[in-house]
């Protein structure tokens, strides 16, 4: 059987390249073998069904910064003001007066992210929570609380935390901002640092409203102090 002329030419050219450029071929194969894998898009990271059922049930939520009942703090940039996807929580002294203040887990949950996702975020911790549905308490929803611009991270990935445990300290995202805590509440199982500003709310909900609806205590009742002293919390990063 006679091959078409163009196939014959192609085979001869390939044979010549293999004969005369063996070093080049070896280098090409070596580059393929040593090429790093493409970066994983965090938008496709999500909690598995097993991870979801293993999340502790979070029946109460508190404010993540300040003393009991969020005293001595204020919301400098609320949710959805100027496209903002969270709350910017500050100490009442303003400026960097709250730099290094403790940041608490708003609810019982599991650390699903602890690190620096990008230069605009600084140190970030994300906790996942299994939360009773307000309309159907027998069912649960998955929420995540996000704590960004931290000076220090004092928890480890996969660590289970009770409500009120110190997770880190208020920071400036490496000097990019005056000290404050960027705090978000997100619904759903996707673990994605994502963005802090957008034209639509995406999967974010109002942190202030979320906590008010799930405090589990009247406004006149102060919650117990945090259960994990700041000075004994394990330091994970600075």
The two most distant CA atoms of the chain are separated, in Å, by: 93
Residue 54 lies in a domain: yes
Residue 135 lies in a domain: yes
Q: What is the pLDDT of residue 131?
A: 95
Residue 14 lies in a domain: yes
In the chain, where does DSSP find H-type helix?
Answer: 5-20, 22-34, 49-53, 207-214
Residue 142 lies in a domain: yes
Same-domain pairing of 26 and 53: no
Lowest mean pLDDT: which of 94-98, 108-112, 147-151, 217-221?
A: 217-221
Q: What is the pLDDT of residue 67?
A: 65
Could you read off the pLDDT of 38-71 as tens digits, one per residue?
A: 555 566 688 999 999 899 999 999 899 876 556 6
Residue 153 lies in a domain: yes
Same-domain pairing of 176 and 221: yes
Residue 238 lies in a domain: no
Higher pLDDT, residue 133 or 39: 133
Residue 39 lies in a domain: no
Number of structural domains in the chain = 2
Same-domain pairing of 70 and 24: no
Residue 53 lies in a domain: yes
Identify which of 54, 58, 150 has the alpha carbon closest to the alpha carbon of residue 101. 150
Same-domain pairing of 145 and 54: yes
**pLDDT surpassing 80 at residue 151:** yes
Same-domain pairing of 223 and 127: yes
Range of the domain at 26: 5-34
Q: What is the pLDDT of residue 228?
A: 41
With a CB cutoff of 8 Å and minimum separation 6, the contacts of 103 are 64, 65, 147, 150, 166, 167, 168, 169, 170, 181
Q: Is 110 helix (H, G, I), strand (E, B) or coil?
A: strand
Tokens standing for 220?
């006149």
Q: In CATH, what number is assigned to the domain containing residue 226?
A: 2.70.70.10
pTM of the full predicted structure? Answer: 0.76
Same-domain pairing of 222 and 190: yes
Angle between helices 5-20 and 22-34 (to 10 degrees): 90
Q: What is the pLDDT of residue 10?
A: 73
Same-domain pairing of 181 and 112: yes
Same-domain pairing of 11 and 101: no
Same-domain pairing of 30 and 57: no
On the 0-12 / 13-18 / 19+ scale of CB atoms within 10 A, 67 is: middle
Query: What mean pLDDT comes out for the span 28-32?
Result: 63
Q: CB 51: neighbour CB atoms within 10 A?
A: 16
CA dist 34 → 28, 31, 38, 50, 172 (Å): 10, 5, 12, 34, 38
Q: How confident is the model at residue 234 (pLDDT cuts 50, 70, 90)?
A: very low
Same-domain pairing of 11 and 126: no
Same-domain pairing of 57 and 117: yes
Same-domain pairing of 98 and 10: no
């Amino acid at each position: 059987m006679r091959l078409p002329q163009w196939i014959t030419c192609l085979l001869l050219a390939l044979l010549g390249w293999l004969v005369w450029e063996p070093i080049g071929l070896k280098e090409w194969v070596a580059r393929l073998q040593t090429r790093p894998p493409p970066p994983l898009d965090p938008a496709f990271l999500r909690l598995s069904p097993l991870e979801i059922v293993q999340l502790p049930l979070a029946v109460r939520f508190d404010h993540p910064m300040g003393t009991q009942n969020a005293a001595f703090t204020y919301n400098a940039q609320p949710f959805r003001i100027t496209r903002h996807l969270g709350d910017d929580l500050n100490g009442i002294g303003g400026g960097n007066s709250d730099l290094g203040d403790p940041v608490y887990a708003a609810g019982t949950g599991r650390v699903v992210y602890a690190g620096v996702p990008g230069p605009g975020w600084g140190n970030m911790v994300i906790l996942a929570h299994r939360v009773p549905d307000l309309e159907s308490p027998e069912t649960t929803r998955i929420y995540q609380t996000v704590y960004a611009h931290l000076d220090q991270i004092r928890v480890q990935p996969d660590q289970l935390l009770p409500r009120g445990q110190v997770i880190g300290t208020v920071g400036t995202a490496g000097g990019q901002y005056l000290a404050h805590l960027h705090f978000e509440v997100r619904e759903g199982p996707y673990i994605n640092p994502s963005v802090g500003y957008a034209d639509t709310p995406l999967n974010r909900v109002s942190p202030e409203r979320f906590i008010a609806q799930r405090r589990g205590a009247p406004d006149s009742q102060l919650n117990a102090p945090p259960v994990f002293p700041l000075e004994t919390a394990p330091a994970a990063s600075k």
